[in-house]
């Protein structure tokens, strides 16, 4: 399946969150997230997750992809502010 990743998301990862990284092979990952969590704004949640992870991981090795998927699962069940 061919997935395209929105340019703003790729740009944010490149400019602000290089630790997470973006590789062309990740298109399937981002496509699956968009399909599994259609009600969630991925870019908005990525920005919030990034702020949280700055304090949480503080330079330590992290499993960003797994952590972000769990983050989205929680966000999809959380009532809006």
Contact 12, 47 (CB under 8 A): yes
Contact 67, 53 (CB under 8 A): yes
pLDDT tens by residue, 13-52? 999 998 888 887 888 999 999 999 999 999 999 999 999 9
CA 25 to chain centre: 15
Mean confidence (pLDDT) of the chain = 86
d(CA 81, CA 56): 23
Query: What predicted TM-score, i.e. pTM, was given to this entire model?
Result: 0.84
d(CA 55, CA 1): 36
């Amino acid at each position: 399946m061919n997935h395209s990743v929105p340019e703003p998301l790729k740009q944010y990862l490149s400019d602000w969150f290089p630790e997470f990284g973006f590789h062309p092979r990740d298109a399937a990952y981002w496509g699956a997230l968009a399909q599994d969590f259609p009600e969630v704004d991925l870019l908005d949640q990525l920005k919030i997750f990034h702020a949280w992870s700055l304090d949480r991981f503080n330079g330590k090795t992290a499993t960003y992809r797994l952590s972000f998927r769990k983050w989205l699962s929680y966000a999809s069940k959380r009532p809006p502010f």
